[in-house]
Structure 1
Amino acid sequence: MSSTDQISPLPPVTRHITTHNEAGKAVVHSSTPAQWRTFDKSAMAFSLMYTTSQFPANLNDDADLAAHEDLLQNKTLGLVNPNGTVCRVVDFAPGNPCVVHRTQSLDYGIVLEGQIEMVLEEGEPTLMKRGDIAVQRATMHGWRNPSETEWARMVFVLQDIQPLVVGGEKLKEDLGIGKGVLDPSGNDQ
């Protein structure tokens, strides 16, 4: 895993955060180019857009902005933020290896560019095209770019969940082959 500039040929991403001025009018707080972390020999890159650390979020006096910055400074974020949300953009190289994993979260995965196969434990992969949305509910899953030449991009919004019990078994986060590379979330205690 490394920090780097964007590695894919897809258009750059800029995060624009809004807030209110002293008169209560909407203004732009900041506009920041995405910063990328690469994984798996640059076959995948993550860019963290924003986090919240409680639900519902507290926007008073920009408390959410302070909590987001504090989380980044402390470098304690896994895939999921306990009691909060995470928004990230992920670029997938052509033919990227599929990292099957489970997070303790409810995720919305939206295809922005290219095509992605959603791979689950059983059944055939589901081909998702630009604009398609996956509602991933704490299942073992992975994402694979089936193209041999084109990059793909998704945006994910992950929300912490109550402990999940299926068939009498409490399910836990499972980072699969990403264990030791991806930071654990710590929300499955």
Structure 2
Amino acid sequence: MTNDTKTTQESLSPLRPITRCITGHNPQTGQAIIERDTLNKWQSYPDHGMAFNVVYSTNTMPANLANDADLAAHDATVASGKLGLVSPGGTVCRVVDFAPGNPCVVHRTRSLDIGVIVEGTVEMVLDSGERKVLGRGDVVVQRATMHGWANPSETEWARMMFILQDCEPFEVAGKEVVEELGDATGVVKPSGN
């Protein structure tokens, strides 16, 4: 499986590039300012027909915004290259573009995820065999279940935005729920939560 990092989204899919604006405060006046206004880097997973863009991450909940501690923590996390799908003890905002007919990668994160379909059509696939086709504006609350995402279109790209937050350890049917990367093992870094 190949893994190419791209600096712009245009080389990955035809969907509109994402501008990330991060606000902050002017330290003298206290007024709101734009701290950063950038196009984000994408990480391509061609064998899985998708690309990831980490918009932001935190490593604590609640987030520590004092003296821009959250900005420094996000920068350090991204620079470390160790961010998995979930940030242990924190949150991750990630955008994923799915190629037409992408292969579904069934996996589990030990997290509470909010997924919003931004463009196109996405099919949610659960390990029980249940499937649900979702369209633009639909929202999935994914609660540490075995799941995967497929783009059923033969021609159109799809985009989802996810907010993942770490959760407390728990058991289901007498078994501890743990992260299971499935076909993404060795491609996506483990979260370690």
Please report the TM-score for the alignment, with normalisation by the length of structure 1: 0.97
Alpha-carbon RMSD: 0.9
Bigger drift between 38-47 and 51-60 goes to 38-47
Alpha-carbon distance between aligned partners in 2 of 1:109 and 1:8, rounded to the nearest angstrom: 20
Q: 1:8 aligns with which of 9, 13, 32?
A: 13
Q: 1:150 aligns with which of 156, 159, 165?
A: 156
Q: 1:20 aligns with which of 25, 50, 53?
A: 25
1:42 to 1:35, Cα distance in 2 relative to 1, 3 A: farther
Q: Which runs of 5+ in 2 are unaligned?
A: none
Alpha-carbon distance between aligned partners in 2 of 1:110 and 1:17, rounded to the nearest angstrom: 20
Shift of 1:147: 0.2
User: Residues 53-92 of structure 1: matches in 2 within 5 Å?
Assistant: 53-92=59-98
User: Residues 75-154 of structure 1: matches in 2 within 5 Å?
Assistant: 75-154=81-160
Shift of 1:40: 3.6
Shift of 1:169: 0.8
Alpha-carbon distance between aligned partners in 2 of 1:92 and 1:171, rounded to the nearest angstrom: 27
Q: Which runs of 5+ in 1 are unaligned?
A: none
Moved over 3 A (4+): none
Shift of 1:34: 2.0
Q: 1:36 aligns with which of 25, 32, 42?
A: 42
Please report the TM-score for the alignment, with normalisation by the length of structure 2: 0.95
Alpha-carbon distance between aligned partners in 1 of 2:15 and 2:191, rounded to the nearest angstrom: 28
- Report the residue type matching 1:96 in the other structure: N
- Which deviations, in whole Å up to 9, do the C-alpha atoms of 1:119-151 show, x marking residues without a partner? 001243101100000000000000000000000
Equivalent residue, structure 2, for 1:179: 185
Shift of 1:42: 6.5
SS of residue matched to 2:153: coil
Alpha-carbon distance between aligned partners in 2 of 1:86 and 1:184, rounded to the nearest angstrom: 14
Alpha-carbon distance between aligned partners in 1 of 2:148 and 2:103, rounded to the nearest angstrom: 9
Identity of aligned residues (%): 57
Shift of 1:168: 1.4
User: Residues 151-166 of structure 1: matches in 2 within 5 Å?
Assistant: 151-166=157-172
Q: Is the 8 A contact 2:48 2:104 kept in 1?
A: no
Alpha-carbon distance between aligned partners in 1 of 2:75 and 2:57, rounded to the nearest angstrom: 9
Alpha-carbon distance between aligned partners in 2 of 1:100 and 1:164, rounded to the nearest angstrom: 20
Shift of 1:25: 0.3
